[in-house]
Structure 1
């Protein structure tokens, strides 16, 4: 009897969701896709939930920072991963226009910083203190960058101010940007297997810090003033002389989304994931070779009670 009641409640909820959607626009809600697995998984889970609620969903490939132009005009509607570490400045600028709104935290907490495998600490004993890099840059050099060290940054579209940081902190490093997320971690895999010198952009949530033993560099602590006021920080003449910020990963939307699709907006507000489950899903995709759509479908099946609660309020 309980099972029948539960099924009946779900059926009624589905009718309610459908009826609520019928009063809203049938135009597609456009969600942005980027170039790293976690963002694709996060966005497609959100899209799948909205589809289950009866909404029309469309995915649009967009650059991480450039997407704000489309969010401001309403050509794009929802971005699921604005990292406090690299995207907060662009998010604040966009929300200040009134055309973009911060829809709150995803539940994911971000770290993006320079990272090195533990075997490099033997070659540069002062680590993780950033000042050690001044004395042992050559330990991170390659044939192409010697005598300067090589730092492998993320794709240029990710932002992050690594080139500015190297200049401001007077580090003898050359920033070499990986073309894609996959290329970035292929660099780590290749170097780690051979115990070659490497220091690169690593982020959390991600599988890499769990798979490989290593540490984040400890730069001077971030403050907003460090990015905006050259007089603040260890270099009195230049900004970005500090580490990257850490904090939440945000959801950002076109300001008209709430009026056009109010039910969808409520679902987006309620949506939450954890670092642990995201890191596990990225590992499935990147390490085990599971298709991202399959990872998403499995999450939807295993968490039906959870996302149904976001839909049926």
Structure 2
């Protein structure tokens, strides 16, 4: 996991160009949430530093991905820059229904989060990427701790995703083991890949991993909202989540009071837009090249003033 610390003064100093500070509606801090994966911290920091360029006071608050909605509903937290359609839809819809949280539009990134395996595993399990092949090859994916069950390395428990429920609903001969952190997840992938050791794990995109490693996502039965909400729908008539994960936009959401208290900031947040390719490159600079989030965001802002300056006009 990339450690996040506030560094606004250093970042602003690093920018090669300055933007005239606009008169803002309130100097109370806008609280942007940060989580436990590098891309989200980068996304949030770009937005926060752009808002600072416009004269707003910004505070970064570490928060749990799903539990943050409690703070967004009360206004104790203000903006979440990445809610993934793949894992956050249910929590997002529940929060919208209260009237206290609003959708600020897509981030420009499209989310994929699913089980993934390295291409070399197809030699041991030729039925891949069909999910049903996993049961036939469970022993090939097992570890001494899980044998004879296969081992699936999931993301941190706080990410959601219903992997435990999926394994049970599809009667898969697999045990779900959750990585403690984002960094631990990809460190284990790197280790396994170098040794061509058996592994199937949670991979998400945008991320550098899908470009660095040769592999494929498992093809589960297609996702539908009914599959998640109605046990009678899908292969198992007695269980929900008997299908793959959804795909779709990564959304920005906010406490409904943001538009009233900081309307200019709300417009800027709605305007934020970045692509999967750009974000994957930025994450790779931090995770693979060892650059700091501060340096990566500063370089991006210096090179892209023509883009982000339009967000705060």
Same fold at TM > 0.5:
yes
Corresponding residue number in structure 2 for 1:258: 259
Q: Describe the superposition over 1:60-105 as per-residue Cα deviations: whole angstroms up to 9, x where unpaired.
A: 0000000000000000000000000000110000010000001000
The secondary structure found in structure 1 opposite 2:172 is: coil
Q: Could you tell me how far apart the structure 2 residues matched to 1:103 and 1:286 are?
A: 28
Corresponding residue number in structure 1 for 2:10: none
User: Where do residues 150-299 of structure 1 align in structure 2 (5 Å cutoff)?
Assistant: 150-299=151-300
Q: Describe the superposition over 1:22-52 as per-residue Cα deviations: whole angstroms up to 9, x where unpaired.
A: xx11100000000000000000000000000
Q: Could you tell me how far apart the structure 2 residues matched to 1:134 and 1:150 are?
A: 11
Q: Could you tell me how far apart the structure 2 residues matched to 1:305 and 1:171 are?
A: 51
Q: Could you tell me how far apart the structure 2 residues matched to 1:82 and 1:121 are?
A: 33
Q: Describe the superposition over 1:242-273 as per-residue Cα deviations: whole angstroms up to 9, x where unpaired.
A: 00000000001000000000000000011100
Deviation at 1:198, TM superposition (A): 0.3
Corresponding residue number in structure 2 for 1:145: 146
Q: Could you tell me how far apart the structure 2 residues matched to 1:72 and 1:286 are?
A: 33
Structure 1 unpaired stretches of 5+: 1-9
Corresponding residue number in structure 2 for 1:129: 130
Structure 2 unpaired stretches of 5+: 1-16
How many residues matched? 297
Q: Could you tell me how far apart the structure 2 residues matched to 1:61 and 1:132 are?
A: 40
Deviation at 1:134, TM superposition (A): 1.6
Structure whose CA Rg is larger: 1
Deviation at 1:162, TM superposition (A): 0.1
TM-score (norm 1): 0.94
Corresponding residue number in structure 2 for 1:18: 22
Deviation at 1:310, TM superposition (A): 1.1
Corresponding residue number in structure 2 for 1:4: none
Q: Could you tell me how far apart the structure 1 residues matched to 2:120 and 2:244 are?
A: 22
Deviation at 1:132, TM superposition (A): 0.5
Cα RMSD, aligned residues only = 1.0
TM-score (norm 2): 0.94
